[in-house]
Structure 1
């Protein structure tokens, strides 16, 4: 059992609150215990921070929330440098809710916040503006102008206001700490199983189904077409997936890539739902990546492509049937 699974019962209002910050926190998040950070991926290391946040919140009878920032500071300081975001804000909120938190507090990361020194970050933002009743951070958390604030500084400064601070040790994966970078690298090589082990749940993407060229229908493989964010560097190839549509989860096989047999166009996620008939256009869906099947290929003929698609579908059925027999990793869709 992962450390993040050993969490106390949630003290959480219904529904989960996503608050983008101006003014006073809503009553459901009043005087929260906050986990502070970017939490991209909400992986097992982040989940240890979440578990400590819920524990401290339960002891103080306060709501437990994540305090995070948009855009990611890396995007703010390097807008021209691509940054694969594992959990865009709606997905981050969905995972946070599944982890038993009361809400997600999102503040704008702008020039003013970037220029805020560590002392003002605690005194003005955390104490006066948000009125937090407890703080939880990871061991490597730094904050304030030039990242001058450390966990030790945070503890000392917050203690002056009577606010407890918990600093959580790293969670390891072998000899290396679990990190968002390690998850990205796993997805970039198509190793969705390794990514799921690091995350503690299967990675999923959320997008609206869009109209395509309807070529799949003529091949006997109609697809739901989804455009993933431009920064997504998931390896191009064929995957066994599960797709959640209006709360119902279906087995599926998906292709992510540029369709080299046809147009070599912009990357697109094309999902063929097994044993399904229906119109999904315009619906928001979650696609969970269960297993890798093969890399993207260019075929000499449509007939050769369809024959391979038959084999891919059979492989997806086997992978999904095997996954259904196991309890781990967790699924956060549906």
Structure 2
């Protein structure tokens, strides 16, 4: 799959495609339905299947002080889209110029001029253009004017509620990664480079791989059963602290997985950590011995949860 930027010309072989249009952060069941519609249209017509998304997320542009909310990085999204049969991911740079485009100009300049779209697939509630002035009826009218088709995909329902990124974020903030995973169709996964830390975990017998959480949504702070995915393809079970480690100073937001039966050097490597189950909230301990005893219990609990996923 190719990765394209709105700052560069689209190669000729990728013009005339069917474009799934949206943020697609998380690439959950609803997003998969929209992208699947574009891929099916494209394959049937022998055209490229393109996903057009935005970076930074429009919310981050308009509200730069908002809490971290990303469910996937662009790299993770690209990998998921490639697995879904997409030929290219086109990333609009969401800046002042794009935010100021009218709905008509967004379609005429970006979709028709830059991408040469043959069709667009998006959700029924998609809006576009300055002040979100464009809606689906306008998109259909502009499609007729410019000669492209518009497919709108109804919201996907699960357990009687609409699948949405907001619903996933709420589940993660409530400490329910299994509920989030059902909506995502996979565990919520934080990816990052393993950094050097203060090595306290090593002195306690539980060496951890320290990962900065960057722009990812902060799930409920606490201890989780996790699975680590290494660059060499190995999957490692473990337990992780997500939070600020209240027993130690200074506080610093980190994801700190301890992998069972692993003895190796991960420093500088990019690893992915799947949050499988929530075990307990963060707590402050009066002594390192008390912390060590609790860590032993947490590791045992994590092992049981990972070995019996239905429990």
Partner of residue 242 from structure 2, selected from 240, 256, 259: 256
Aligned partner of 1:9 in structure 2 is: none
Partner of residue 17 from structure 2, selected from 32, 36, 51: 32
Residues 168-183 of structure 1: matches in 2 within 5 Å? 168-183=153-168
For residues 212 and 117 of structure 2, the distance between their equivalents in structure 1, rounded to whole angstroms, comes to: 38
Deviation at 1:304, TM superposition (A): 1.6
RMSD: 1.7
Aligned partner of 1:217 in structure 2 is: 202
Residues 311-326 of structure 1: matches in 2 within 5 Å? 311-323=297-309
Aligned partner of 1:157 in structure 2 is: 142
Deviation at 1:104, TM superposition (A): 1.2
Worse-matched range after superposition: 133-142 or 81-90: 81-90
For residues 13 and 205 of structure 2, the distance between their equivalents in structure 1, rounded to whole angstroms, comes to: 50
- Structure 2: gaps of 5 or more residues: none
CA contact (8 A) 1:207 1:226 kept: yes
The verdict on how the C-alpha distance between 1:211 and 1:83 changes in structure 2, with shifts beyond 3 A counting, is: closer
For residues 25 and 274 of structure 2, the distance between their equivalents in structure 1, rounded to whole angstroms, comes to: 17
Counterpart check, 1:274 vs 2:260: yes
TM-score, structure 2 normalization: 0.95
SS at match of 1:293: strand
Deviation at 1:211, TM superposition (A): 0.2
Residues 49-60 of structure 1: matches in 2 within 5 Å? 49-60=34-45
For residues 29 and 283 of structure 1, the distance between their equivalents in structure 2, rounded to whole angstroms, comes to: 33
Deviation at 1:285, TM superposition (A): 0.6
Aligned partner of 1:294 in structure 2 is: 280
Deviation at 1:33, TM superposition (A): 1.2
Deviation by residue 1:166-200 (Cα, 9 ceiling, x = unmatched): 10001113343111111111111111001111112
Aligned partner of 1:206 in structure 2 is: 191
TM-score, structure 1 normalization: 0.88
For residues 299 and 249 of structure 1, the distance between their equivalents in structure 2, rounded to whole angstroms, comes to: 31
Deviation at 1:310, TM superposition (A): 1.2
For residues 277 and 28 of structure 1, the distance between their equivalents in structure 2, rounded to whole angstroms, comes to: 47
For residues 232 and 55 of structure 1, the distance between their equivalents in structure 2, rounded to whole angstroms, comes to: 32
Deviation at 1:321, TM superposition (A): 1.4
For residues 175 and 210 of structure 2, the distance between their equivalents in structure 1, rounded to whole angstroms, comes to: 20
Aligned partner of 1:283 in structure 2 is: 269
Deviation at 1:231, TM superposition (A): 5.9
Deviation at 1:121, TM superposition (A): 1.3
Deviation at 1:31, TM superposition (A): 2.4
Deviation at 1:27, TM superposition (A): 5.2
Partner of residue 120 from structure 2, selected from 135, 138, 147: 135
Residues 60-71 of structure 1: matches in 2 within 5 Å? 60-71=45-56
CA contact (8 A) 1:82 1:231 kept: no
For residues 204 and 102 of structure 1, the distance between their equivalents in structure 2, rounded to whole angstroms, comes to: 24
Worse-matched range after superposition: 282-291 or 242-251: 242-251
CA contact (8 A) 1:240 1:254 kept: yes
CA contact (8 A) 1:208 1:283 kept: yes
The verdict on how the C-alpha distance between 1:22 and 1:212 changes in structure 2, with shifts beyond 3 A counting, is: same
